[in-house]
Each structure stands twice: as C-alpha cells, then as structure tokens.
C-alpha cells in the first residue's frame, strides 16, 4: 500500500485540540500544525469514511499569527500543541472553542462573555509528571513528556512551560537517574513547586540501594530541592531529604488563605491564573455572611476556604478521603474550622436524596474533573439553589451539563468565559454562571 500523496487545502478554523480544520470533497480534514487562513500541503495519517487526520508537510502561505515555536522539542513532544500560534490568538481560539461547545452541544449562549483570564505564557507549570525511560538505542535515559500520538518518551533537554529553575535541571536529572542501580525501574518524577519550595518525587519499582539514596540526597542538596521517594501508590510518598523541612503550600493573598498540600495531591498547575480565577469565582458567587454554600469536588478546599473567609458557611464534598482530611486541616489551620464541614462522597453517583442531605443551600459551586458533573446537575431538585457557579476544565462536558441546567432545571446561562490555565496547549479552562428566576 502506497503512502497517501500530499494534497493542498486552505485551513478554515481550529478545533478543540488546536488542529486546523478544512473540507476537501465534502470530507472534514483535521490538520495538525496548520492555522486558519493558511494554504498548506498535508499528508493524512488516519483515513476514515467521513474524516481524515493529517500532518502539515509544508506551509505554502503562512498566517500572520504564526510564530516560531520557542521549544526545540515542539512537534515531537506531546506536552504542547499550540506553540506555533501567537499567544493572544491562542486565547481567542480557546474562547471560540468554549462558545462553539456551548452552542453546538448545549444549545446555549451566555448573556455575557467574560473577558479571558490570562497570565504569563511560559514558565507557568508548577506541577508536572515527567516520564522516565531507559532506551539504550537513544543514548540511555530519557526524561520528558510523552511524544505526540505515542507512548514513547520525548527526549527533553529543557521545557519552556516549566519554571526556569526546573527546566534547567532536566539534563542533571538524566545524569542522576543514569547513575542509579536500576535506572529502568524509576518510571516517573513528579514535580511540585510551592512558594519558595520545589519538591521532586521519585517513583521507584524496586527498593533503593544505600548508594541510590546517597545519590538522591546529594542531588537534593546540590539543587536546593526537597527529594521525596514513592515506592508504591501516591500515599506511600515520603520525604527523603531534608529530614526536617516546611511542607508545600500556596497562598491566596486576596483572601488571607494558605493551602498546605502534599506533592502527590491534585492542585492547580498555574498558581497565577488560579488566583485570578479565584477572584472572578468569588465575584460571581458573591458569598455573604449567613449563607450556606456547597463546594462540590472541593479537593483541598481551594474554593471552600475563600468562600468561608467571605463569611458564608461551606459544605465541601470530595471523592477522596485523604483530600477531605486535608481540606478540614487547611480550614482549621486558617482559623476557618467553624465555618466549614467536609464530606467524602462519590459525586458521580449523586442523587436528589444525597444532595438534599447536604441541607438547604443558598448557592452552589461545582468544580469537577474532565468528566463533568452530569449526575449532580440531574440530581438538582425543587429546592436547588438559585445561583450556581461552574468551573470547568472541559468545554464539552460543561456544555452537556449546561443543556440539563437550562432545558430541564430552569436555569439561565448568565455568563461564561475562559481562563488560560495552560498556555501553549489546547486545554480550555472556563467558568460559567447560572441563575434561576
């Protein structure tokens, strides 16, 4: 079978994954690396009856918004998909993705489009999980994100979206792992950066030798970082070096809150955007003393504690027992223990009865994972709160849940907008406000 011959087309738009979209002979073609308005030559790598997916082989006439990717690994590494598009244009494209999803999936248009929340385009990623593989044919240990469309690890010398001091450590990390007794049994390094503290968690599948431990301690000392080791699941992670050191935390100065977290906990990767998103969320939710507000998928209490600080009583619900415990401790540590209660429950199985058990609610905040909150929105009963603020990391599930809220539950989509939490990637974080008449 011969490889498909390159063809030419003019790109019409971008899809939700940052791929160029065009139509040739009535067929939709998604072209990776192409931008709207460009004439490109492309070669398909996946051909289906009603669509094709292709790579750009040549840009014949380039968009004025095309820029030179900053990272030498762009195109191979799967960590970023939009470095070839100017930063402001990335934001505009994400806003369109949100609007299109709300309309095409949810049949809803917000009364107001909020201005996008934006921040630094580089060096923003305070959390990351780097894969480690021993590949002798490629020169030994590889450290990086996965390659595009592959489970292979992209060999990385640096990473422009990681904080500069972490990016600079990548070659030294490779040298560190190469000298370990079983370099092929250390599959990943989790990175967590708090305020003034950088932690690296080394996952190891076999026990570390005394020499391995000494190497890790020396690395931690030389790089001024905390070294943690993780022999099994996330809860097994423990600090190796230094023996006594402050824990990780991030602050929300506007609300006088400090959030302690473990390096393996889920926290927002972009601290600057998280702060601005928090401000907008609180403006839309408008918590007031005397109100009772539920924070669903509350995690460590990222939104719960600012709500409590503004005077409302918060009922936080989260699926993980460990995170519920940490949210409770964070509330106590911030002097907010009397204004918060936290419960562990599987919100993907929420029912009208389980929501009613939370007590009467004035308002509701929902911040679900990518799967969305379909069970929660379907379970909203006659006594559901008048106002809902929904923070989403997936426009498609937000739009699906919006359809239920607006068509079945009597809510109106008052406003929506994006937060550019992950610049250079196609990931779209957004916030929406719903109110019932």
Q: Which domain holds residue 156?
A: 127-193+198-245
314 & 422 share domain:
yes
Query: For 289, which DSSP code?
Result: T
Q: Residue 267's pLDDT is what?
A: 85
Binding residues for [4Fe-4S] cluster, as ranges, are 71, 77, 80, 159
259 domain residue, yes or no: no
Classify burial at 321, counting beta carbons within 10 Å of its beta carbon; exposed 0-12, middle 13-18, buried 19 or more: exposed
Total structural domains within the chain: 3
**161 in Cβ contact with 125 (< 8 Å):** yes
Same domain, 233 and 364: no
- Name 413's Cβ contacts closer than 8 Å, sequence gap at least 6: 102, 106, 108, 109, 110, 111, 402, 405, 406, 432, 433, 434
DSSP 6-53: PEEEE--EE-TTS-EEEEETTEEEEEET--TT-EEEEEEEEE-SSEEE
Structure confidence by residue, pLDDT tens digits, 223-247 = 999 999 999 999 899 999 999 999 9
Given a contact cutoff of 8 angstroms between Cβ atoms, the answer to whether 153 and 159 are in contact is no
The owner of tokens 């669903």 is 296
Q: Same domain, yes or no, for 158 and 225?
A: yes
Give the model's pLDDT for residue 383.
82
In a domain, 73, yes or no: no
The residue among 39, 38, 15, 11 whose CA lies nearest residue 23 is 11
222 and 331, same domain (yes or no) = no
Judge whether 355 and 376 are in contact, CB under 8 Å.
Answer: yes
107 and 131 in a single domain? The answer is: no
Residues noted as catalytic:
393
Q: Residue 268's pLDDT is what? A: 83
Pairing of the two strands 188-193 and 411-419: unpaired
- How many CA atoms, within 13 angstroms, populate the side-chain half-sphere of residue 329? 12
Nearest to 416 by CA among 393, 390, 386: 390
Mark the binding-site residues, compressed into ranges. Answer: 71, 77, 80, 159, 268, 297, 302, 318, 346, 367
| Spans of the chain, pLDDT less than 70 | 1-4
Q: Is residue 298 included in any domain, yes or no?
A: yes
Smallest Cα–Cα separation from 269: which of 376, 361, 167, 191?
A: 191
Tokens of 43: 């070669």
Q: In this predicted structure, what is the pLDDT of residue 222?
A: 98
Flag whether 2 is in a domain.
Answer: no
Residues 317 and 333 in one domain: yes
Domain boundary among 208, 228, 245: 245
Provide the pLDDT for residue 2: 52
Domain boundary among 21, 50, 66: 66
pLDDT at residue 3, as a whole number: 60
The sign of the torsion formed by the CA atoms of 137, 139, 141, 147 equals: negative
SS3 of residue 126 by DSSP: coil
My answer on whether 206 and 343 are in the same domain is no
Q: Which residues contact 275 (CB under 8 A, 6 or more apart)?
A: 252, 253, 254
């Amino acid at each position: 079978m011969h490889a498909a011959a390159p063809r030419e087309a003019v790109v019409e738009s971008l899809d939700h994954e940052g791929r160029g979209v065009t139509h040739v002979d009535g067929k939709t073609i998604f072209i990776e690396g192409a931008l709207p308005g460009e004439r490109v030559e492309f070669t398909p790598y996946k051909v289906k009856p009603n669509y094709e997916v292709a790579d750009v082989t040549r840009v014949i006439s380039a968009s004025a918004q095309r820029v030179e990717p900053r990272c030498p690994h762009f195109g191979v590494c799967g960590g970023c998909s939009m470095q070839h598009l100017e930063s402001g244009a990335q934001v505009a494209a994400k806003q369109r993705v949100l609007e299109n999803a709300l309309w095409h999936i949810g049949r809803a248009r917000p009364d107001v489009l909020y201005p996008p929340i934006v921040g630094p385009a580089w060096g923003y990623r305070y959390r990351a999980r780097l894969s480690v593989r021993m590949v002798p044919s490629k020169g030994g240990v590889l450290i990086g994100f996965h390659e595009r469309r592959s489970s292979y690890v992209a060999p990385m010398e640096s990473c422009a979206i990681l904080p500069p001091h972490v990016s600079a450590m990548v070659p030294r990390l490779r040298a560190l792992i190469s000298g370990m007794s079983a370099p092929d049994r250390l599959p990943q390094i989790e990175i967590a950066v708090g305020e003034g503290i950088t932690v690296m968690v080394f996952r190891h599948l076999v026990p570390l030798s005394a020499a391995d431990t000494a190497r890790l301690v020396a690395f931690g000392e030389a790089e001024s970082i905390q070294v943690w080791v993780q022999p099994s699941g996330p809860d097994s992670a423990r600090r190796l070096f230094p023996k006594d050191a402050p824990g990780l935390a991030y602050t929300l100065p506007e609300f006088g809150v400090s959030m302690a977290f473990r390096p393996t906990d889920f926290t927002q990767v972009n601290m600057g955007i998280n702060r601005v998103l928090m401000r907008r969320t609180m403006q839309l939710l408008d918590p007031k003393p005397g109100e009772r507000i539920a924070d669903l998928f509350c995690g460590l209490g990222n939104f719960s504690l600012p709500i409590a600080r503004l005077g409302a009583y918060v009922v936080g619900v989260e699926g993980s027992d460990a995170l519920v415990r940490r949210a409770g401790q964070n509330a106590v540590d911030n002097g907010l223990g009397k204004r918060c209660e936290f419960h562990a429950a599987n919100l993907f199985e929420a029912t009208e009865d389980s929501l009613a058990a939370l007590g009467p609610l004035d308002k509701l905040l929902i911040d679900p994972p990518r799967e969305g909150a379909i069970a929660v929105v379907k379970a909203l009963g006659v006594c559901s709160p008048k106002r809902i603020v929904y923070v989403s990391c997936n426009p498609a599930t937000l739009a699906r849940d919006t359809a239920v809220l607006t068509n079945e539950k009597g809510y109106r989509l008052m406003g929506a907008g994006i937060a550019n939490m992950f610049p250079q990637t196609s990931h779209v974080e957004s916030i929406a406000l719903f109110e019932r008449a």
